[in-house]
Each structure stands twice: as structure tokens, then as C-alpha cells.
Amino acid sequence: MLRKQSYCELSRWIDEECSSGRLMGIKASRSGSPHSTSDDDFRRLESDYKRLHDDAQRLITERVQLESDLSKLKKKTVRLDDEVRLLKSPPMIIGHIQDVLDKERAIVRSSNGTIFQVSLNPRLDSALVKAGTRVALNQDSLAVIEILTDAWDPLVSGAEIMTKPDVTYEDIGGLDEQMEMLRESIELPLHKPELFAKVGIKPPKGVLMVGPPGCGKTMLAKAVAQQTDATFIRMVGSELAQKYIGEGGRMVRELFALAKEKSPSIIFLDEIDAIGAKRLDGATSGDREVQRTLMQLLAELDGFDSLEDVKIIAATNRPDILDEALMRPGRFDRIIDIPVPDEDGRKSILTLCLKPMAKTSFRLGKIVERTEKFSGAELKAVCVEAGMIAIRQSRGRINQKDMFLAIDRVVDKRHNDSGREGLRVLYG
């Protein structure tokens, strides 16, 4: 069929060329005898035919390629139109259903706390529309558009410790009694609850660790997280102090709900004095919101719902400002005092800190005597500073002189910090 069409096109082309005078000789030869056609004319016709045939094939290929490109561009245009339409669509408001009146109406609470009676989307599954469900509301009519899955607050879900710390009980010195009390209150009820049932007592709900900064409260919590197989959730008290009314209490509820869902679990509330300060009469709006968060925490610690396999560890260096309701038995059954290490404690901490370091032989007792009233963090800083002195002098080992010089530098830093604090208090 293609050959026949090509011959027709060739004949039509020859007629056009003859009419224009370019192929007069060929036309004249066609009107004569077939035997009078010269070989040159046939070769020229054959060459023209081949050229036209190649041009036709090339154009067909180009047409197919262009149609393919056009189809891809149309698909891309449709996709971009959908994206533009989504970007232009108004945002939705997140809320929760409080009550379902009938198949067409419901009572919802929006994210800003306002309560509305709204219409329900008839396409929604009626079995999923119930009180407490998290939904998306139309920004204009506040109608329920779709049902959302429940989600934890990012601060709460991100508080779960996925990787265990590398701190063990063997890395902590001078706190043997405190470690024993902590393990009895937290680890033993999770590992051997039958012992408490046999004696006939309820295991402690949690412990409160108090003591000066740098004495090992956080290290003890890290050791517990490393030792036990329970889910460990760490939250700083300041993260629970939120700006908007009810947000802090909601986070506390979600924190304990997450701990119950993933039980056995341990909640570590560091710097609890940020939300656990004493409640005062003359308080500002911000103070009242912090007090609401504290009251929610008190209700979770000693409310109607049993904590069972959820244990709480709290830490603070300001026990003097904590609310009395937080300190009473039943909420934190044990208060563990983490003091500044004594002579034996300092010797134990220095031994642990110096164990991995390259050193010459020196008298540890002299160093212990000169570090009176040093916290564990300051003793660690002395060892690090001694190592820096040796590195600065291009030596591979530390000696007793390095330790004495490091102690003097830590003492000077303590006095300078105290002076700056005094100036800050004096001049604001």
C-alpha cells in the first residue's frame, strides 16, 4: 500500500515538474515509446523516489516522537495543575469531636479551644466518628472533612530514648548507697514484682534525686537507662512549660499515656523545679499556666489510674522551692540525696577518671586532700585539664604537677564564676 502511494506521489511530482518546465524532456519521452526513455532519466527518477521515500520515513519517525513528547507533556501538565490546585486550597483546622448528635451533626473542639456544632461529611465512616476522634475541619464552615489518626506531640514522642547510653554503674564512684536505693525503687519492681506481692506492699512509684549540680544525678539516670530493658523516656521540666492554656497539661497526659502504652517504662523528669515550684497566691498568667501543668502532673502521679509498670525518676538541684504536694509520700516515695562527694567518694571518682589516662606514678591522696568540696563534674574537669596541660607541653603522660596545676585552674574558674554571679545579682 505504501509502495502504491509512493508511486502515486512520484507520478504527481513528475507531472508538477513537467508543467513547470524542469522535466520537459522526461514528459516528452513518456509520451513516446517506452523504449526511447534514456537510462539517465530512469536513474534520476529512481534517485528522486528513494529520496522522497527516505524523507517520508523520517517525517513519520519525527511525528511519532513528537506525539510521544506531547503525551508526556500533557501528563506533566495535569500533575502540575493538581499540585497548584492543592497549593491554592485553603488549610484545614485540626480539632477533636466531643459529641455526635446524629448522622449529620457533631460537637467539635477546635485547636484554639472553641467549641462548635458542625456538619459531618456524609462520605465519612460513621463507625469512626465518635467522641475523642481527631478530625480536620473546613476553615470556612468548620464542617468535618476527614478523620485523622491520633498522633503524639513531637516533643513527647521524641523524648523516648532509642539508643542506650554508654554509662554503667561501674562508671559512677562515691554513690554506692544512692545507687542501691535507686535500683531497689526502680529496677527491682520491674524485674521481680513477685517479691513485693509476697511481702504485701506496693512498689514505689518513683524517686526524687536532689543535690548540687555536677554530683551525678543525670549519670545515675543514664546508668538506669543502660541497665534496664524498659522503655526510657526523658523529658526536661522546661519543655512542659508551654505558652498556651492547657498545652502543658496535655503534654503531661500524653507523656504518661505514651509510658503506659510502652510499659514497662521509666520516665525521667530532669530539672523538675521548672514546673514543680511552690504555688503562690499573687501569680501572673504565666505562673498560673505552670501551676496547671503541675496539678496535671500531681494527678498523673497519684490519680485514679494506676501506673503499674511505669516508674518515675525526677531530679532537681533546688528542692527548697518544690511544692509540698510534690514531695509527699505516694508521689515520690523515696527522696535520694546526692551530696558533694566526701574523701572516699573523691578518691573513687578520681580513680575512675584517671583509669583510662596515661600517667606517671603519683600520690592520689595528696590530690584528694586538695580537692575538698569538689563536685564530681569538677573532679572530671581536673583530669581533663591535666591532660590538656600535658598535651600542650608535648608529653604523652600526665604527672602530679599537672594535676596540682589543673586543680588551681578549676578553683580560679569557680571563683571567677562566683564573682560574675555576684555582679549579675548586684547590677542586674
pLDDT of residue 72: 92
pLDDT at site 76: 92
* pLDDT at res. 66: 92
Residue type, 247: E
Enter the CATH code of domain 343-427.
1.10.8.60
Q: Which three cell numbers stand for residue 239?
A: 519543655
CATH number, span 157-337? 3.40.50.300
The answer to whether the beta carbons of residues 323 and 294 sit under 8 Å apart is yes
- Cβ atoms 148, 134 nearer than 8 A: yes
Question: Is the Cα torsion angle 409, 410, 414, 415 positive or negative in sign?
Answer: negative
Upper half-sphere CA count for residue 299 (Cβ side, 13 Å)? 12
Asked if residue 203 has a cis previous peptide bond (ω within 30° of 0), the answer is: no
- Sheet of strand 265-270: strand arrangement: 231-236, 265-270, 310-316, 206-210, 334-337
Alpha carbons within 13 angstroms on the beta-carbon side of residue 283 total 13
Q: Return the bridge partners of 336, or none.
A: 209
Looking at residue 153, what is its pLDDT?
67
Residue 395 DSSP code? -
Rounded CA-CA distance 379/368 in Å is 10
The answer to whether 220 and 168 are in contact (CB under 8 A) is no
Strand (E) positions, 64-184?
A: 93-100, 105-110, 115-119, 134-137, 144-147
Angle between helix axes 39-88 and 2-19 (nearest 10 degrees) is: 110
DSSP code for 183: I
Spatial CA neighbour of 415 closest among 407, 427, 405: 407
Q: Coil, strand or helix: which one is 100? A: strand
> Residue 338: is it exposed, middle or buried by C-beta count within 10 angstroms (0-12/13-18/19+)?
buried
Using CA atoms, how far apart are residues 13 and 51, in angstroms rounded to an integer? 13
Listed in order, strand segments (DSSP E) in 101-199 are: 105-110, 115-119, 134-137, 144-147
Q: State the 10-residue block means of pLDDT for the chain, 428 residues long.
A: 50 58 46 57 83 88 91 91 79 84 84 82 81 83 81 71 81 84 86 85 85 86 85 83 75 84 86 81 70 84 75 87 82 85 86 85 84 87 90 88 89 69 38
Give the count of beta carbons closer than 10 Å to the beta carbon of residue 224.
24
> What totals of helices (H) and strands (E) does the chain contain, helices first?
15, 10
Fold exhibited by the domain 93-147: OB fold (Dihydrolipoamide Acetyltransferase, E2P) (2.40.50)
Q: What are phi and psi of 119, to 5 degrees?
A: -90, 155
Matching fold, domains 93-147 and 157-337: no
Annotated domain spans of the chain: 2-86, 93-147, 157-337, 343-427
